Structures are given as C-alpha cells and as structure tokens.
Amino acid sequence: MRYLLLAVAMLLPTFAVAQDETRPPLTVGVNTVRANFDPGLALGNVDIPIIYNMFDTLVARDFSKSKDRTAYELVPGLAKSWKRIDDRTIEFSLRPGVHFHNGQPLTSADVKFTFDRILDPASDYVSTRNLLKVIKRVDVVDDLTVRITTKEPSPVLLHLLAYHASDIVPKAYFESVGEAGFGQKPIGTGPFSLVKLQPDESMELTANDSYFRGSPTISALTFKAIPEVSARITALANGEVDIINSLPPDQLAAVQNLGCCEVRSTMANHHFIQYNTYNPVMADKKLRQALNLAIDRQLLANALWDGKATIPHSAQYEAWGPELYNPDRPVLAYDPDRARQLLKESAYKGEPIFYVTHPVYYTNGVAVAEAVVEMWKAIGVNASVRVDEGWSKLKKDDPILTVKNASDWVVPTDPAVTLYMTWSKQLWKDETEFDELAEQGETTLDVKRRHDIYQKMIDIFEEDAPGTYLYRAPDFYGVRSGIQWLPNTEYTMDFRPDNVHFTK
C-alpha cells in the first residue's frame, strides 16, 4: 500500500492547499510554445519565459537589485545557505519543507540526480553539460546537505547554479516517466505547476500554493502561442491575453494607443552573426573582416529599434563588473571603404553567401538580415537572405550554412559564459588558442588575471572574425493597465508573488 500511495503521489498534477479562489488568472501571448520543457534541454529564448515559472535553482538571481533589471545579485534559492569547504568544494544546506508539485519532498538525492543526469556523457544534455562541465561530482552528505566539487577552482560556479539550466528536478518522478515523458509533463518546485501542454498552441499552469516563497498572486498562468505580432496586439486589445512579448519598436505606438495597455521593457542580450568557417566560402578571415566592417550597426539600431538598441564595446557586457569589463574598447567599427579593400585582398570570388534566419524567433530578425545583406551587396558581395524555420538544425557541412544569426547569454553575467560559451563551439574552426585561454579564465580566482585573459580572448575574436556583434536589443512587452509586473533581462518573465500585483 505504501508503494501504491507513492506512485499515485508522483503522478498528481499539483500539491496545493485548497482555498476559495479570488485571485485572477493571467494569460500571456508569446511567439511560440514548444514541446519539451526539461530545463536541461529547453535553453532557447522562447523557452525561458515559461520554464522560469515552474522550477527553482539552488542559488537564485534577484533581478530587483538592479533598477533596470539587467543585472542581479545572488541570493538563497532552494539552498538556504552555502559555505566553501575548499577551493573546489561548496556545501549547500537545502531548505526544509520544500516539495515538488507532486508532493514529493526535496532532498539532496534530487540535487545529485539533477546534475548527474546532465553530466552523464551518454545523455542528451550536450549544451547544458558544456555549460556545467566544471562540476566534477555531487555528493550527498545527508537529506538536506549536498556538496558540489569542481575539477578546478571555479569563480563562476554559483552563477552557473543560478542559471535555469540548473533547475532542480525530482529524481523519483523523472525516473518513473523517463526523459521524454518529463519534458512533456515537467514537475518542479516553482510557483506554478503544469495542467496541460499543447505544443504550438498553449501551456496551462496553475498556482502552487505550497510554494516556499509564498502563494502566487494569480490563480492560473497560461502561455498562448500567437506567432504573428499583429495577432498578439489584437489579442491584447480584445482582452484575450493580459501580456504580450517580443514587440518590435515599430509596433510600440500601436500598443500605447490602445488606451488599455502600456509598454514595459528591459535590455536583453546581444544579437550577433555567426560565420561558418568550416564552409570553404567563409574560410578566409579577410572576407569575414570585410563583412564586419560593412555593417552600419548604428543605422540598424536607429532604423529598426528606434534608437533603443545599443552598440557594444566588442564582445562584452557592463554587467561583468568593473573588474572584468573594459569600457575603453571602442564600439565596433563601420568602414565600408576598408571593407572593399579587404574584400579585394581576400580569396572571395563572388560565391553566393546566404544569411540564414528564422522567420519569427528573433524580433526584427528578418528585417535585420535584409538590411545587412544590402550593406554587403554595397561592397560587392553576392549575398541573399534565406528564411528557414529549421535554421537551428543546419549542420556546419551544409553548403547553405554560410552565415546565420544568433544571440548570446546575458546571464550568468561572466565572460566564462557570455563570451566563451558563445564562441567556443559549432561554427568556429580555428579557435584553439581561444579555448586554451578560456580554460585558464575558468580555473583561476585571480580577478586581474581573469581580466587580462578575457581581453586577450576578445582580441582573438576581433582578429579572426568568426562572427560579429550587431547590437544589444531591448525587449518590449505590452501589458494591460493595472497589472504591476516588470520583465527581467534574458527574457525571464517572472510571475512569482513579489513581481505581479493588481491595482484594479
């Protein structure tokens, strides 16, 4: 009987306290709802808004500490405290009384299982494993105490543990349903639990009134897939949804003129271009340097982002802090004459270059691709735009894949992630020195040495030109008046009790 009760508990959709429901529901119109919400796999910009509300990490990020919500402080999450045992080991004390949505109590065994499943070299968690590769092992001390040991001293471990890829999952439930089953019916400790998932249509969540940070202020949270921007705005105007995301700047006035709604925003991440240096057409770095110099980034920011996008001082974020960020690096140059000269000196002979982009994944993604291609044509490049919904699945040996767009991570706000993880794999063929320096930066606690290492890495990036940054993009939302809610950077739509309230 005991085992039967355990099995039933693992399959329950939520563990909540019954109450008379007076709280309103809230519906969010998003560009897409995908089919898998295993936090070790759901790493995309479109996944983060949803998954952030179902799970928690050992260490939490408090975005409210930054007025514009583009930086954060590390605060206790599922771990109420932690202490460093030695240069490579941190011990975490878990909060007592925390439960997963199915009623199962959180224990150290769940924490160990969460990371063991990712670090297993045979698992599907390739990207997350690359992110967390510094972890050597996770040891259970007792039910509420766990130790994480790294391969080398790690200055970024706590930041990595606060990132949503490190969301804690329940061992028993995961093992009972398997990886595929968990992705379709995820269970976490977060403020909302799954009711129903309809890929490409909607995801319905309900309040977890046993949430350790307090009961949510809304009764239910629904994410509704509305791919077209105009349709999202119409749904907001009609009251079908309460919040919409991914508004392009040219549609902000349309929302503001509705009379029922407001625009909220925060700066998100860098949008950039990757060159497939494995492709023979893109093998010459002089061609790549020419393409970079031909891009008028300020024109893109002004024309397509209403001047609200910013041009980065190369591959850096100010949130790295004064010890690692170099404000003296110039913004990326626009020099079409120099671009034409480099193009003549390169091995380029007029071969077609395809700028591949998804139709809706990035706000202004297609418009930017079209504008950049025209800039390249102006210096003599045979370039064209290729819109492809399967753009993320193209392999480096596909002849179509010469150029593609992408974005980096804003958080964790450390160059070990925002710089190295972005450029250390996939399409950059000759990154050996870059990787060697990155390994040094990831394994030293000496801040001055880290600064010098990462600035050298940026030098290599600029010289070899495996891609280029375009701008840091703002993220715009339409919100119905009376809803007190603020977005965080990196598309994190947080509906925890302290970030959503109603004034009428």
pLDDT tens digits for range 145-169: 999 999 999 999 999 999 999 999 9
Task: Give residue-wise pLDDT tens across range 58-71.
Answer: 999 999 988 889 88
422 and 354 share a domain? yes
Q: Same structural domain for residues 219 and 299?
A: no
Q: Are residues 138 and 112 in contact, defined by beta-carbon separation less than 8 angstroms?
A: yes
In this structure, the chain runs to a length of 504
500 located within any domain: no
Whether 213 and 273 map to the same domain: the answer is no
Of 225, 260, 291, the last residue of a domain is: 225
Q: Which of 251, 250, 231, 256 is nearest to 241 (CA)?
A: 231
Contacts of 385 (CB under 8 A, 6+ apart): 354, 355, 357, 366, 369, 370, 373
Do residues 43 and 99 share a domain?
yes
The model carries a pTM of 0.84
193/320 same-domain check: no
Going residue by residue through the chain, which has 504 residues, state the pLDDT in tens, using 9 for 90 and above: 333 344 444 444 444 444 468 999 999 999 999 999 999 999 988 999 999 999 999 999 999 988 889 888 999 999 999 999 999 999 999 999 999 999 999 999 999 999 999 999 999 999 899 889 999 999 999 999 999 999 999 999 999 999 999 999 999 999 999 999 999 999 999 999 999 999 999 999 999 999 999 999 999 999 999 999 999 999 999 999 999 999 999 999 999 999 999 999 999 999 999 999 999 999 999 999 999 999 999 999 999 998 999 999 999 998 898 999 999 999 999 999 999 999 999 999 999 999 999 998 888 999 999 999 999 999 999 999 999 999 888 999 999 999 999 998 888 889 998 898 888 778 999 889 999 999 999 899 899 999 999 999 999 999 999 999 999 999 999 999 999 999 999 889 999 999 999 986
Tell me if 94 is assigned to some domain.
yes
Amino acid, single-letter form, for residue 154: S
Q: Is residue 263 part of a domain?
A: no
What's 140's domain CATH number?
Answer: 3.40.190.10
Q: How far apart are CA 15 and CA 4, in angstroms?
A: 17
33, 173: one domain: yes
Does residue 392 belong to any structural domain of this protein?
yes
Calculate the CA dihedral of residues 77, 83, 85, 90 and round it to 10 degrees: 10
- Residue 91, C-beta contacts closer than 8 angstroms, at least 6 positions apart: 82, 83, 84, 85, 141, 145, 146, 147
How far, rounded to the nearest angstrom, does the alpha carbon of residue 101 sit from its chain's CA centroid? 24
Domain interval for residue 46: 2-225
Provide the number of structural domains found in the chain. 2
Domain closes at, from 225, 259, 284: 225
**Does 111 fall in a domain?**
yes
| Pair (294, 217) in one structural domain | no
Residue 144 inside a domain? The answer is: yes
Q: Is residue 460 part of a domain?
A: yes
Judge if 150 and 285 occupy the same domain. Answer: no
Using DSSP's 3-state secondary structure scheme, residue 393 falls into: helix
Co-location of 207 and 307 in the same domain: no
Task: Tell me, yes or no, whether 300 and 422 share the same domain.
Answer: yes
Question: What is the CATH number for 274?
Answer: 3.10.105.10
**Do 306 and 199 reside in the same domain of the chain?**
no
Residue 277, in any domain of the structure: yes
Q: In terms of Cα–Cα distance, which of 480, 478, 484, 479 is closest to 497?
A: 484
Pair (409, 298) in one structural domain: yes
